[in-house]
């Protein structure tokens, strides 16, 4: 059975998934801490706009779209960033445009400014693009992805397919056509389909959209080939999916959903982390003490230990129905007395995960 440590050591990409509040962000940050401790140069990227990663890593100023190096123990390095969809999109336009003029034309375009960022799938697509770039970035040898706390967290697995479907769409082809033919302007009025769309969304919006797609011409090849690279990366042996759950029935039910979602894309869970378990406390003394006060504590301890054991037993039984193969390693992490809001608390989680 491959342990979490062995998966982490072998991986170039680790993706933490699971339902909201179970400890995905905490786990992602603790994996980063362990990777840095063992000499690797790790970067944790969060796709969740909530400031939880900065919080877990004890970064008071918060995280931005550029990786920030953290001061952590070990021979390796730990970096972290929070995905900013709009800034990432702008950067892609700049780095993929044929020249500065093409980049400026797109960046200034009304459709791009107001619509492109909010189109469904854009955030997921940018997450995939960012993963691609970080994986190739010579500063890092491990990318850890902290996914958002929603069921749609794994939609970025579809992002490469989304962009390909988009590029292959007849409407996209139609909008790109004039530049292909070397014409400067697409006459909306002469295209029956565009005339209809123009009536629905308004002529100005459509004119902006047409101008956007024309400005985009030539860049789609790079977008498509990176999308294919990401798909291959996610399916390769260097990517591992870590499923995080808590010992509660509802979060294990969600874990089942995520395992199924991965399976649909021909991907598998590599390791499971069950976080926020009832602590097991220590061994009680061999004999129940005589003094009443001590006897009460003894009884409490015995009861808590029994609860912890029952909880683990029930969670293990539920997990066995998630569709995750039985030989997948599960790590049990107890609830700490307080939240994980400092590097010191995170170091405790790291120890609980890896010993
Ligand atoms: N083992 C733990 N013990 C105590 N608190 C924890 C533990 N794991 C996570 N937390 C706390 O639970 C909350 C949710 O954790 P988080 O990692 O943000 O979950 P997610 O990313 O899955 O939504 C945070 O406030 C965090 O500090
Ligand atoms: Mg989170």
**37-71 pLDDT per residue, tens:** 999 999 999 998 889 999 999 998 999 999 999 99
pTM of the model: 0.90
Determine which residue's CA is closest to atom 15 belonging to ligand 1: 23
Distance CA 30, CA 72 (A): 11
Q: Is position 210 within any domain?
A: no
Q: Is position 204 within any domain?
A: no
Q: Is position 330 within any domain?
A: yes
Ligand 2 center–CA 48 separation, angstroms? 6
* Listed residue (298, 243, 253) closest to 275, CA to CA: 243
pLDDT under 70: residue ranges of the chain? 160, 175-190
| Residue 230: CB atoms within 10 Å | 25
SS3 15: strand
Q: What is the pLDDT of residue 310?
A: 93
DSSP letter for 118, please: G
pLDDT in tens, 255-303: 999 999 999 989 999 999 999 999 988 888 889 999 999 999 999 999 9
CATH for 260:
3.40.50.300
| Strand 41-46 relative to strand 269-277, pairing | unpaired
Total domain count, the chain: 1
Ligand nearest to the CA of 56: 1
Q: What is the DSSP string of 164-225?
A: HHHHHSHHHHHHHHHHHTT-S---GGG-HHHHHHHHHH-HHHHHHHHHHHHHHTT-HHHHHH
Q: Is position 183 within any domain?
A: no
Q: Is position 104 within any domain?
A: no
Q: What is the pLDDT of residue 183?
A: 47
Task: Quote the domain boundaries for residue 309.
Answer: 4-98+117-157+233-354
Ligand 2 center–CA 281 separation, angstroms? 27
| Residue 170: CB atoms within 10 Å | 8
Q: Is position 261 within any domain?
A: yes
pLDDT above 70 covers a percentage of the chain that reads: 95
Atom index in ligand 1 nearest the CA of residue 27 equals 17
Q: Is position 134 within any domain?
A: yes
* Listed residue (128, 211, 123, 224) closest to 169, CA to CA: 224
Ligand nearest to the CA of 21: 1
Distance CA 233, CA 226 (A): 10
Pocket of ligand 1 (CB under 6 A): 20-26, 52, 149, 275-276, 333, 335-336, 339-341, 349
Ligand 1 center–CA 29 separation, angstroms? 11
Ligand nearest to the CA of 27: 1
Distance CA 207, CA 204 (A): 5
Q: Are 12 and 142 in contact (CB under 8 A)?
A: yes
Ligand 1 center–CA 110 separation, angstroms? 40
Q: What is the pLDDT of residue 185?
A: 53
**Residue 330, beta-bridge partner list:** 272
Ligand 1 center–CA 231 separation, angstroms? 30
Q: How far is CA 268 from each of CA 4, 148, 236, 258, 341, rounded to the nearest angstrom? A: 14, 19, 11, 10, 31
Distance CA 84, CA 64 (A): 7
Ligand 2 center–CA 68 separation, angstroms? 18
Determine which residue's CA is closest to atom 6 belonging to ligand 1: 339
Determine which residue's CA is closest to atom 9 belonging to ligand 1: 23
Write down the residue that tokens 């962000």 correspond to: 25
Q: Are 301 and 53 in contact (CB under 8 A)?
A: no
Q: Is position 171 within any domain?
A: no
* Listed residue (285, 274, 284) closest to 314, CA to CA: 274
Q: Could you give the angle at which helices 122-136 and 220-235 cross, rounded to 10 degrees?
A: 70
């Amino acid at each position: 059975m491959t342990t979490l440590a062995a998966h982490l050591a072998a991986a170039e990409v680790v993706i933490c998934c699971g339902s909201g509040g179970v400890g995905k962000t905490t786990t992602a940050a603790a994996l980063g801490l362990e990777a840095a401790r063992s000499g690797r140069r790790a970067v944790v990227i969060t796709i969740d706009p909530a400031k939880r990663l900065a919080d877990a890593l004890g970064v008071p100023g918060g995280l931005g779209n550029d990786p920030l190096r953290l001061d952590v123990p070990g021979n390796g390095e730990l970096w972290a960033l929070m995905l900013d969809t709009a800034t990432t999109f702008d950067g892609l336009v700049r780095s993929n445009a044929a020249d500065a003029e093409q980049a400026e034309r797109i960046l200034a375009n009304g459709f791009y400014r107001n619509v492109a960022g909010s189109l469904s799938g854009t955030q997921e697509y940018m997450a995939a693009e960012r993963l691609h770039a970080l994986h190739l970035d010579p500063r890092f040898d491990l990318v850890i992805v902290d996914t958002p706390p929603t069921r749609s967290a794994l939609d970025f697995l579809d992002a490469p397919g989304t962009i390909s479907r988009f590029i292959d769409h007849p409407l996209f082809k139609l909008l790109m056509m004039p530049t292909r033919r070397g014409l400067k302007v697409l006459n909306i009025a002469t295209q029956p389909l565009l005339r209809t769309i123009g009536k629905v969304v308004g002529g100005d919006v459509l004119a902006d959209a047409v101008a956007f797609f024309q400005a985009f011409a030539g860049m789609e090849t790079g977008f498509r080939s990176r999308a294919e690279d990401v798909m291959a990366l996610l399916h390769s042996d260097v990517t591992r999916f870590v499923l995080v759950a808590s010992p509660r029935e509802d979060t294990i039910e969600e874990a089942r959903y995520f395992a199924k979602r991965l399976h649909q894309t021909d991907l598998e869970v590599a390791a499971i982390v069950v976080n926020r378990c009832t602590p097991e406390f220590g061994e009680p003394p061999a004999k129940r003490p005589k003094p009443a006060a001590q006897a009460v504590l003894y009884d409490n301890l015995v009861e808590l230990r029994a609860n912890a054991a029952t909880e683990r037993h029930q969670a293990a039984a539920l997990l066995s129905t998630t569709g995750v193969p039985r030989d997948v390693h599960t790590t049990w992490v107890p609830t700490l007395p307080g939240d994980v809001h400092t590097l010191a608390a995170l170091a405790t989680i790291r120890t609980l995960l890896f010993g």
